[in-house]
Amino acid sequence: MDFNDTPEQAAFRASAADWLAANVPTKEETEGLNRLQVAKLWQKRKYDAGWACIGWDPAYGGRGASAIEQVIWKQEEAKYDVPAGFFVIGQGMMAPTLMAYAQPQHLERYLPKLASGEEIWCQLFSEPAGGSDLAALRTKAEKDGDEWVINGQKIWTSGAHYSDFGCVVVRTDPTVPKHKGLSYFFIDMKSPGIEIKPIKQLTGESDFNEVYFTDVRVPDSQRLGEVGQGWQVSLTTLMNERAAIGAGSSGVNVNLAIQLAKEVMIDGKPAIEDSAVKARLANFYVEEAGLKFTSYRTLSALSRGDIPGPENSIGKLVGAPKMQQLASFCMDLLETSGAIWDTSRSKLADNIIGSYMGAPGLRIAGGTDEIMTNIIAERVLGLPQEPRMDKGIPFMDVPTG
Amino acid sequence: MDFNDTPEQAAFRASAADWLAANVPTKEETEGLNRLQVAKLWQKRKYDAGWACIGWDPAYGGRGASAIEQVIWKQEEAKYDVPAGFFVIGQGMMAPTLMAYAQPQHLERYLPKLASGEEIWCQLFSEPAGGSDLAALRTKAEKDGDEWVINGQKIWTSGAHYSDFGCVVVRTDPTVPKHKGLSYFFIDMKSPGIEIKPIKQLTGESDFNEVYFTDVRVPDSQRLGEVGQGWQVSLTTLMNERAAIGAGSSGVNVNLAIQLAKEVMIDGKPAIEDSAVKARLANFYVEEAGLKFTSYRTLSALSRGDIPGPENSIGKLVGAPKMQQLASFCMDLLETSGAIWDTSRSKLADNIIGSYMGAPGLRIAGGTDEIMTNIIAERVLGLPQEPRMDKGIPFMDVPTG
Amino acid sequence: MNFEFSEEQQMLRDQARNYLTQHCPTTLVRRVLNNRETHDADLYKGIAEMGWTATTIPEEYGGLGMSHLELVVIAEELGRACAPVPFSSTVYLAAEAIMALGTEAQKQTWLPKLADGSAIGCFALGEAGGAVTPDQISTSMADGVINGTKVPVADGGIADVAIVVCKSDGGDGATLALVDLSQDAVAKDNVQMIDFSRGHAELTFNGACAEVLGEEGAGWAAVESLMNSAAILFAWEQIGLADKALEQAREYALGRFAFGRSIASYQAIKHKLAKMYVKNTLARSNAYYGAWALNAGASDLAVAAATSRVAAIQASLFSAEENIQTHGGMGFTWEFDCQFYYRRAKLLSLAVGSEKQWQGRLVDGLAASA
Amino acid sequence: MNFEFSEEQQMLRDQARNYLTQHCPTTLVRRVLNNRETHDADLYKGIAEMGWTATTIPEEYGGLGMSHLELVVIAEELGRACAPVPFSSTVYLAAEAIMALGTEAQKQTWLPKLADGSAIGCFALGEAGGAVTPDQISTSMADGVINGTKVPVADGGIADVAIVVCKSDGGDGATLALVDLSQDAVAKDNVQMIDFSRGHAELTFNGACAEVLGEEGAGWAAVESLMNSAAILFAWEQIGLADKALEQAREYALGRFAFGRSIASYQAIKHKLAKMYVKNTLARSNAYYGAWALNAGASDLAVAAATSRVAAIQASLFSAEENIQTHGGMGFTWEFDCQFYYRRAKLLSLAVGSEKQWQGRLVDGLAASA
């Protein structure tokens, strides 16, 4: 065990840090730009200097960096407040899928622009009737000459409104069992017949969209994998989702709660001296630190060449409910004032109440607590699946309530 | 809402209290007797005076008392340290089953001696392979003239070693689905071929037995219900089990924990002043009081003539884990000394550690936490059963691992 | 022993539920929340016309002279409906305070108006974050004049009268003031809370006229006593809310299919719902005792109130949180109603003292009597 | 960065697991527990011959001079095996104390014997119920003579040497004494604990000879420091135990059928096992950091120790409790092994301070550094 970099890693870290220090956009540069514009500017600058998607093949704009180098780069970049979320899905999930299934000419056409941030991709998987049962999707595609005609509805599509391309899974054969009748395409999000409607969340924000398909035409050449092989292709995407979403480091944390507990008084003493406050904070910290050190163990395994496995579901499974309860606890520390959601009155309100309001979404997006627990039970501990009522039955005959 | 007795109830309570005050066995009377002998002495005395099984028909030794009178009697009797557990199963579970299914001559023969404590009954349902799946029992009975021949093994039989009679459910037809091939008999526990072996629990005590049946013969006249109707008859017994087991009032409680917390010091002050101790005690009390007041609500419904329903599963479901965690908490209050299990050194050890060691059994006996939760989900909230892999399949073809 | 509501009380419940189903549908809650309105005035008018605001106020002051058992029945229904009205501020706090402590003149002035809904009351305690103790209060009253700032005050922006906790140099450290809010010397500034459907305000008193309510220097004991009754009344609102959230989750789960069967048939969901039921049942039973103790003025009222409140906080938060979870993605949308219960449950859990405060009061009470 | 055990350490783990599988089967644990023996002397002899007792003791004192990273590997395996030996008392406490505080003579006298297993050590702190503070200690030492009673002392009945915490009028209130237990002036009385497989005793010192260990009046600081390393070492035992309990539950659930399918396919059981896995994983990751911090003498060692201990207590109790529950009725029998982990988990949770104590230390440490 050693927390220090090897000499090679230290050298890499230093060169990353140096470049960042010299190149992170200044306030003057970003003046007047919105978050998306800043993100594109920053991504392009990284790309031009060889710091975008550094794990990728140099042919597509990367530098073939090792897993641990990618982590070091992320750690160094995270020291700056630069926007990143816009490219996560495309670079983290779509790109590995393209690399596995797309034609060489597609890779040359799309990957560099994905790396440079010039084009943004989104993922069109979830449907209203699907939810945790992702493969129960109903959006259908019918062959018409060299093209497919797509009709149906997708939901929970992050970034659909600013994306240039998207990967979509559709049902091409409802007469075979659920997983066998799917196919996978990438499409131009500006195609005629695509309508995008933002979904307002209970936080008041709109991070997701509904995407309606009405006779949307996509060339057969944009199919990834064979017809009917869409589920296998999707699994490549989803395996990379786990790594891309992670525990989520924003929102309330124990450090913030401790600062708060030092300021708030209970019975004439700082709350941090109250033993009930300590017991709860300790339990939150045990989870927070446990996740951090679990991720260090994963990194060590990654740096040895291992692939992240289903055990990484633990990050979101523990982290999301922890955020909800820790935010609730922080509000409690403030008593009635803890319910004030007004930044002009409480600097912390946005962070604390924002976390309390946002956490239910974290507990659901990318796999609910219940699905994550299933994954650990089945794929880590090797416990049997529940009986499946939809197994071997033509999709169109599966009970839907 | 009114916590006071009606005038009639008050009069009944007074007469019960008077009789108890004059008749509870004195120390001199019980000198040299074991618990079973004391229990029989006390039960017979109650019977002779008309205070045994007061809810029963006077023809069988009762006095036809109302539900609320039975509660009042129990409350008054509970003020004395008199042994009672020996008769609970016979009087509380077997008697109602006999009343529903037995011949008149059986009722006359058995019920009075059950009421008087002269004869003790036990229940032979569970089997090693059954567990939560009670009806998956394998002990078989084959018809031979006017008799049945029983072979197999029962487990978890309380009091088998001191019981005179027992009710046993057996499989009389393995070629039909699980619930349809069962029949129900009462048998003489002294019958040839019955062998009883006590089971040692992890507490070191032995409250249960294994009971082995080797060619045990029982007359067909001792069958309750039709051949193949054993499951329905069992349900009558089990419905009464829920009422008989209840929340369990022995073991640690919040009051004891508070006394302890007043004596033990934390940071130079009584633990009861520590805010973390308060938070935990409050949560335990919320459960304890919540159960108490829930039982009051049930009593009110009973006194109106309602039958206790599946919602009473809540008592054991909440009470048993509460006992485990409260006992653990009390040990923690004492720090390392809390792990001393030596009554000569710690008056409370038997109660606290006894509760911690016994609670796992309470969480299992009479339906595990998981089964109790299922009962609430399915029978109270009306949620669907899980898919059943044994439905409609001949019992002998059901997968058993 | 009889631990049930009477037939008349059951009828009152049916009547209240019917009224609110009709006059307080979730579309109304949604409108108030969407627009961040302080309350729905028409609904409150209707509620007052039903006589609910008058429930426990004596007949001589225009009330119905009924007991707290009737009031908790109404509280539960208002909680179920997530009603956006200043009922709790007016009835559980202002009216209770005036009934308990007011002079004849104060009662005559305010109770009839609170009873018929023509006046709204509020209770102003906190001034900053954290638990309030008398020495943290800076609002002061002298010679009939009050100065200071209170925030957040539930319904403070629309109230006609406020009970304001002021510091006192003598006695137990606090004095209650009765303040007519229709004065220029009172400034009201809206404060947005986590629950957009319940208006709150910052009240600033710039030398406003005020009367002492109750005894000078005995205000803190009065606050504690008032908190006990409020804890029980709020608990019933929370239980109504918790049960509604459970029902909503149950209904959604039954109708939602995944992998070919209803999600309500998965133990991950059905046991979650059963756990809600257990918590709600324990909370309800504790609140039964709380209601009885409040009505009977039982000696263990403080413990009963604390038990009711702790149980109600735990049950309502759990049910509101897991209701969203049961709904999955749809539960996280603005469009679905789950958010009402989530916001309201958290607001109510902080309304008259946090879980931790009441856990402390609960055990202090038990320890004193054990 | 490398947050893994080295290959050599992994090999040591395999070796330890193989040795204990062979020499410490559950039948051995069962025999000790059944007969309430203080320990298994042959097993301890074998363990000493393997060199485990010598792990961190410097070579000059007959040890192997290895690091704490090797020791935690062994601790985990001893925890898995529920080994009935005085390893923790001797190695985590007595040897650590003498290494940290002893004079050259004290080290020369005791470390070689503790290293080769010819002497057993123990640590005597508590005298009555509750958390120990210096002012609650009445055992005293003056002029090389010790008087007082300590109870319960793990392995006190079989130990050759004890580190005894005595009161001190000056300094931080405590002084450590090194006491040879082979004196007539030391009385040993067995004390039965919840775990019958681990002997404990009451030690009474009637004017026995004693040496000061470390500085007079600096004993409390030494105790706190010793508790930090012990917390981490015990945590690894607890994690070994917790994982073993999870494995046992998993295996039983997979093989047990109800309603026609493995009970491991029911979410009530599979989610329970997943929850064990999550707690065990968090505890293990925290203990990784604890081990690193102990080995590196990190500045946040106190926080790392507290985090390791709180997580390990929670994980081991949960896994031991729910292992029985997963087994159903059979898990509650004397005959099944579930009871070993249940008893041991609770004993270990109280061995060097309760969860609550360490929650306090954890947050005090965080608050001081934040």
DSSP per-residue codes, A64-101: ---HHHHHHHHHHHTTS----GGGHHIIIIIHHHHHHH
Note if B241 is an active site residue: yes
Q: Please name which of A199, A157, A205, A132 lies closest in space to residue A358, comparing C-alpha atoms.
A: A205
In this structure, are strands C161-167 and C121-124 parallel, antiparallel, or unpaired? Answer: parallel
Q: Tokens standing for B297?
A: 């609500």
Q: Give the integer Cα–Cα distance in Å for D347 and C194.
A: 45
- Residues of B in Cβ contact (< 8 Å) with C363: 258, 272, 277-278, 281-282, 285
Q: Please name which of C158, C150, C19 lies closest in space to residue C86, comparing C-alpha atoms.
A: C158
Which residues are paired to A171 by β-bridges? A140, A182
Q: Tell me the CATH number at C255.
A: 1.20.140.10
pLDDT the model gives residue B251: 86
Number of domains in chain D: 2
Question: Do residue B373 and residue C274 have CB atoms under 8 angstroms apart?
Answer: yes
Structure confidence by residue, pLDDT tens digits, B264-320: 999 889 999 999 999 999 999 999 999 999 998 988 887 777 777 888 889 999 999
Residue at a domain's end among C183, C216, C249: C216
Q: Tokens standing for B319?
A: 């009470």
pLDDT the model gives residue A247: 41
pLDDT above 60: residue B164:
yes
Structure confidence by residue, pLDDT tens digits, D114-123: 999 999 999 9
Whether D268 and chain C come into contact, CB under 8 Å, resolves to yes
Q: Check residue D344 and give left, alpha or beta (phi > 0: left; psi -120 to 50: alpha).
A: alpha
Which of A276, A386, A389 lies nearest to residue B276, judging by beta carbons?
A276
Residue at a domain's end among D216, D243, D261: D216
- Residues of A in Cβ contact (< 8 Å) with D292: 1, 3
> By three-state DSSP, how is residue A140 classified?
strand
pLDDT the model gives residue A300: 85
Q: Give the integer Cα–Cα distance in Å for B30 and B223.
A: 39
Give the contacts of C2 (CB within 8 A, at least 6 positions apart): B1, B2, B300, B303
- Residues of B in Cβ contact (< 8 Å) with A385: none
CB C144 within 8 A of CB C205: no
Whether D292 and chain C come into contact, CB under 8 Å, resolves to no
Q: ∠ CA(D138), CA(D139), CA(D145), 5° rounding?
A: 140
Rounded mean pLDDT of C343-357?
Answer: 97
Question: Do residue A377 and residue D310 have CB atoms under 8 angstroms apart?
Answer: no
Task: Specify whether D212 is located in the same domain as D275.
Answer: no
Q: Tell me the CATH number at C15.
A: 1.10.540.10
Question: Do residue D268 and residue C267 have CB atoms under 8 angstroms apart?
Answer: yes
Handedness of CA D319, D320, D325, D326 (dihedral sign): positive
The nearest alpha carbon in chain A to B387 belongs to: A387
Which residues are paired to C254 by β-bridges? none
- CATH 1.10.540.10 maps onto chain A at 7-116
Residues C55-78 as b or e (16 or more Cβ within 10 Å = b): bbbeeebbbbebbbbbbbbbbbbb
Give the contacts of B383 (CB within 8 A, at least 6 positions apart): B377, C250, C253, C254, C264, C265, C269, C270, C273
Helix (H) or strand (E) holding C147: strand C145-154
Neighbours of chain D (3+ CB pairs under 8 A): A, B, C
Q: Tokens standing for D203?
A: 């030690």
Question: Do residue B278 and residue C264 have CB atoms under 8 angstroms apart?
Answer: no
Structure confidence by residue, pLDDT tens digits, C11-69: 999 999 999 999 999 999 999 999 999 999 999 999 999 999 999 999 999 999 999 99
CB C150 within 8 A of CB C178: no
> Residue C126 CB: number of other CB atoms within 10 A?
20
Q: Give the integer Cα–Cα distance in Å for C341 and A168.
A: 35
Helix (H) or strand (E) holding A172: none
Q: Check residue C10 and give left, alpha or beta (phi > 0: left; psi -120 to 50: alpha).
A: alpha
Give the contacts of A111 (CB within 8 A, at least 6 positions apart): A56, A60, A61, A95, A98, A99
Q: What is the CA radius of gyration of chain A?
A: 23
Catalytically active residues of A, by annotation: 241
Preferred mutation among A267, A269, A275, A278 to probe B, highest tally of B CBs within 10 A: A275
pLDDT the model gives residue B245: 47
Rounded mean pLDDT of D286-313?
Answer: 97
pLDDT above 70: residue B247:
no
Position A243, amino acid = A
Q: Check residue C107 and give left, alpha or beta (phi > 0: left; psi -120 to 50: alpha).
A: alpha
Eight-class DSSP state of B396? G
Rounded mean pLDDT of C191-208?
Answer: 97
The nearest alpha carbon in chain D to C268 belongs to: D267
Least confident of A377-391, C91-105, C109-123: A377-391
Question: Do residue D271 and residue C268 have CB atoms under 8 angstroms apart?
Answer: yes
Chain CA centroid to CA C86, Å:
9
Which residues are paired to B394 by β-bridges? B177
Q: Tokens standing for C146?
A: 């009050």
Q: What is the CA radius of gyration of chain D?
A: 20
Which of D260, D324, D349 lies nearest to residue B399, judging by beta carbons?
D260
Question: Do residue B383 and residue C310 have CB atoms under 8 angstroms apart?
Answer: no
DSSP per-residue codes, B62-105: -----HHHHHHHHHHHTTS----HHHHHIIIIIHHHHHHHS-HH
Which of D258, D339, D349 lies nearest to residue B131, judging by beta carbons?
D258
Rounded mean pLDDT of B28-50?
Answer: 95
Task: Specify whether D96 is located in the same domain as D148.
Answer: yes
A/B interface, count of CB pairs below 8 Å: 21
Which of B266, B278, B389 lies nearest to residue A276, judging by beta carbons?
B278
The nearest alpha carbon in chain D to B348 belongs to: D129
- CATH 1.20.140.10 maps onto chain A at 249-380
- Residues of B in Cβ contact (< 8 Å) with C359: 278-279, 281-283
Architecture of A249-380 per CATH?
A: Up-down Bundle (1.20)
Question: Do residue D254 and residue A255 have CB atoms under 8 angstroms apart?
Answer: no
In this structure, are strands A165-171 and A121-124 parallel, antiparallel, or unpaired? Answer: parallel
Structure confidence by residue, pLDDT tens digits, B72-101: 998 899 899 888 789 999 999 999 999 999
pLDDT the model gives residue A369: 97
Neighbours of chain A (3+ CB pairs under 8 A): B, C, D
Which of B297, B304, B376 lies nearest to residue C277, judging by beta carbons?
B376
CB B167 within 8 A of CB B123: yes
CB C213 within 8 A of CB C104: no
Question: Do residue B335 and residue D131 have CB atoms under 8 angstroms apart?
Answer: yes
- In tens digits, chain A (401 residues) has pLDDT values of 887 888 999 999 999 999 999 999 999 999 999 999 999 999 999 999 999 999 999 999 999 998 889 889 988 998 998 887 899 999 999 999 999 999 999 999 999 999 999 999 999 999 998 888 999 999 999 999 999 999 999 999 999 999 999 999 999 999 999 999 999 999 999 999 999 999 999 999 998 999 999 999 999 999 999 999 999 999 988 877 755 544 455 789 999 999 999 999 998 899 999 999 999 999 999 999 999 999 889 888 877 777 778 888 899 999 999 999 999 999 999 999 999 998 888 778 889 999 999 999 999 998 999 999 999 999 999 999 998 888 888 988 888 87
Rounded mean pLDDT of D157-172?
Answer: 97
Q: Check residue C174 and give left, alpha or beta (phi > 0: left; psi -120 to 50: alpha).
A: beta
> Residue D303 CB: number of other CB atoms within 10 A?
24
Question: Do residue A279 and residue B274 have CB atoms under 8 angstroms apart?
Answer: no
> Residue A307 CB: number of other CB atoms within 10 A?
9
Task: Catalogue the E-assigned strands of D155-255.
Answer: 161-167, 174-180, 186-191, 200-209, 211-213
Q: Give the integer Cα–Cα distance in Å for A247 and A130.
A: 24
- Residues of A in Cβ contact (< 8 Å) with B383: none
Helices and strands in chain D, H and E counts:
12, 10
Whether C5 and chain D come into contact, CB under 8 Å, resolves to no
CATH homologous superfamily, domain B121-230:
Butyryl-CoA Dehydrogenase, subunit A, domain 2 (2.40.110.10)
**Which residue is catalytic, options B241, B287, B311, B378?**
B241
- CATH 2.40.110.10 maps onto chain B at 121-230
CA distance D196 to chain B (A): 9
Task: Specify whether C99 is located in the same domain as C155.
Answer: yes
In this structure, are strands C261-262 and B140-144 parallel, antiparallel, or unpaired? Answer: unpaired
CA distance B354 to chain D (A): 9
Residue at a domain's end among D181, D216, D251: D216
CA distance A178 to chain B (A): 19
Residue C368: C-alpha distances to residues A267, B253, B259 (Å): 19, 17, 11
Torsion angle in degrees (nearest 10) through CA of C323, C329, C334, C338: -10
> Residue A208 CB: number of other CB atoms within 10 A?
23
Which of A204, A334, A364 lies nearest to residue C129, judging by beta carbons?
A334
- Residues of B in Cβ contact (< 8 Å) with C250: 381-383
CB D90 within 8 A of CB D199: no
Question: Do residue D270 and residue A377 have CB atoms under 8 angstroms apart?
Answer: yes
pLDDT the model gives residue A246: 46
pLDDT the model gives residue D343: 98
C/D interface, count of CB pairs below 8 Å: 9
Task: Specify whether C51 is located in the same domain as C146.
Answer: yes
Task: Specify whether D7 is located in the same domain as D92.
Answer: yes
Question: Do residue A384 and residue D265 have CB atoms under 8 angstroms apart?
Answer: yes
Whether D336 and chain C come into contact, CB under 8 Å, resolves to no
Q: Give the integer Cα–Cα distance in Å for B327 and B331.
A: 6
Q: Give the integer Cα–Cα distance in Å for C36 and C199.
A: 8
Q: Give the integer Cα–Cα distance in Å for A226 and A184.
A: 8
Task: Specify whether C188 is located in the same domain as C271.
Answer: no
- Residues of B in Cβ contact (< 8 Å) with A269: none
Please state which CATH number belongs to domain B7-116.
1.10.540.10
Share of chain D above pLDDT 70, in %: 100
Residue with tokens 């017994």: B237
Range of the domain at C78: 1-216
pLDDT above 80: residue C254:
yes
Question: Do residue A373 and residue D277 have CB atoms under 8 angstroms apart?
Answer: no
> By three-state DSSP, how is residue B124 classified?
strand
Question: Do residue C1 and residue B303 have CB atoms under 8 angstroms apart?
Answer: yes
- Residues of B in Cβ contact (< 8 Å) with A274: 275
- Residues of D in Cβ contact (< 8 Å) with A320: none
DSSP per-residue codes, A294-324: HHHHHHHHHHTTPPP-GGGGHHHHHHHHHHH
Q: Give the integer Cα–Cα distance in Å for A214 and A191.
A: 10
Share of chain B above pLDDT 70, in %: 98
Structure confidence by residue, pLDDT tens digits, D41-60: 999 999 999 999 999 999 99
Rounded mean pLDDT of C192-197?
Answer: 97
Question: Do residue D271 and residue C266 have CB atoms under 8 angstroms apart?
Answer: no
Preferred mutation among C266, C267, C269, C270 to probe D, highest tally of D CBs within 10 A: C267
Which of A200, A332, A353 lies nearest to residue C333, judging by beta carbons?
A200
- The structure's pTM equals 0.96
